[in-house]
Amino acid sequence: MARLGIYVQVPFCQTKCTYCNFHTGVVSAARFSPYVEAVCREIRGFRNLDAAAGVKLPEELGKASVDTVYIGGGTPSLLEPVLLQRMLDAIRETFIAKFSEVTLEADPETVSDEKAEAWFAAGINRVSFGVQSFSDKELTAAGRLHRREDVYRAAPILRAAGIRNISFDLIAGLPFQTAESWKDSLEQLRALQPEHVSVYLFEVDEGSRLGKELLSGGARYSAGSVPSDDEMANFYETACEFLGAAGYHHYEISNWAKPGLESRHNLKYWRREPYLGFGAGAHSFCGTERWANAHDPAEYGRAIMGGRLPIEQHEVVTAAAALEEELFLGLRQLDGIDVGRIEREYGIALGERFAPMEAAGLVEKEGNLVRLAAGKLSVSNEVFVGLMK
Ligand code: SF4
The whole-number pLDDT of residue 53 equals: 63
**Quick one: which atom of ligand 1 is closest to the CA of 73?**
3
The answer on 327 and 255 residing in a single domain is no
The whole-number pLDDT of residue 378 equals: 75
Structural domain ending residue among the three candidates 209, 239, 270: 270
**Cβ of residue 12 lying under 6 Å from some atom of ligand 1:** no
CATH of the domain at 181: 3.80.30.20
**Cβ of residue 74 lying under 6 Å from some atom of ligand 1:** yes
Question: What's the domain range around 326?
Answer: 319-387
Whole-number percent of the chain with pLDDT over 90? 82
The answer on 227 and 161 residing in a single domain is yes
Domain membership of residue 336 (yes or no) is yes
The answer on 91 and 26 residing in a single domain is yes
pLDDT in tens, 97-128: 999 999 999 999 999 999 999 999 999 999 99
Confidence class for position 56, pLDDT limits 50, 70, 90 = confident
The answer on 366 and 217 residing in a single domain is no
The answer on 142 and 7 residing in a single domain is yes
Domain membership of residue 204 (yes or no) is yes
Domain membership of residue 309 (yes or no) is no
**Cβ of residue 22 lying under 6 Å from some atom of ligand 1:** yes
The answer on 47 and 150 residing in a single domain is yes
CATH of the domain at 352: 1.10.10.920
End-to-end CA distance of the chain: 32
Domain membership of residue 292 (yes or no) is no
Instruction: Say if residue 181's pLDDT is above 70.
Output: yes
**Quick one: which atom of ligand 1 is closest to the CA of 24?**
3
The whole-number pLDDT of residue 50 equals: 64
Q: What is the pTM of this model?
A: 0.95
The whole-number pLDDT of residue 382 equals: 81
Mean pLDDT, residues 18-37 taken together: 92
Mutation probe of ligand 1 site: the residue of 24, 77, 203 with most atoms within 8 A of C-beta: 24
Whole-number percent of the chain with pLDDT over 70? 98
The answer on 352 and 263 residing in a single domain is no
The whole-number pLDDT of residue 2 equals: 66
Q: Which amino acid is at 319?
A: A
Instruction: Say if residue 353's pLDDT is above 90.
Output: no
- Average model confidence (pLDDT) for the chain? 93
The answer on 336 and 192 residing in a single domain is no
Mean pLDDT, residues 317-345 taken together: 94
pLDDT in tens, 238-265: 999 999 999 999 999 999 999 999 999 9
The answer on 103 and 167 residing in a single domain is yes
The answer on 156 and 22 residing in a single domain is yes
206 burial class (0-12, 13-18, 19+ CB within 10 angstroms)?
exposed
Q: How far is the CA of 78 from the centre of ligand 1 (A)?
A: 12
**Cβ of residue 255 lying under 6 Å from some atom of ligand 1:** no
Domain membership of residue 135 (yes or no) is yes
Structural domain ending residue among the three candidates 208, 238, 270: 270
Coil, strand, or helix at residue 196? strand
> CA-CA distance, 311 to 385, in Å (whole number)?
31
Domain membership of residue 293 (yes or no) is no
Instruction: Say if residue 27's pLDDT is above 70.
Output: yes
pLDDT in tens, 145-158: 999 999 999 999 99
Return the ∠ at Cα 215 (arms to 211 and 216), rounded to 5°.
Answer: 115
Coil, strand, or helix at residue 206? coil
Closest of 52, 74, 94, 21 to residue 314, by C-alpha: 52
- Residue pair 348/323 in contact (Cβ under 8 Å)? The answer is yes
Domain membership of residue 189 (yes or no) is yes
Q: How far is the CA of 107 from the centre of ligand 1 (A)?
A: 9
The answer on 133 and 231 residing in a single domain is yes
**Cβ of residue 282 lying under 6 Å from some atom of ligand 1:** no
The answer on 34 and 157 residing in a single domain is yes
Domain count of the fold of the chain: 2
- Residue pair 111/76 in contact (Cβ under 8 Å)? The answer is no
Domain membership of residue 263 (yes or no) is yes
Coil, strand, or helix at residue 372? strand
Q: Which of 35-44, 61-70, 204-213 has the highest mean pLDDT?
A: 35-44
Structural domain ending residue among the three candidates 210, 238, 270: 270
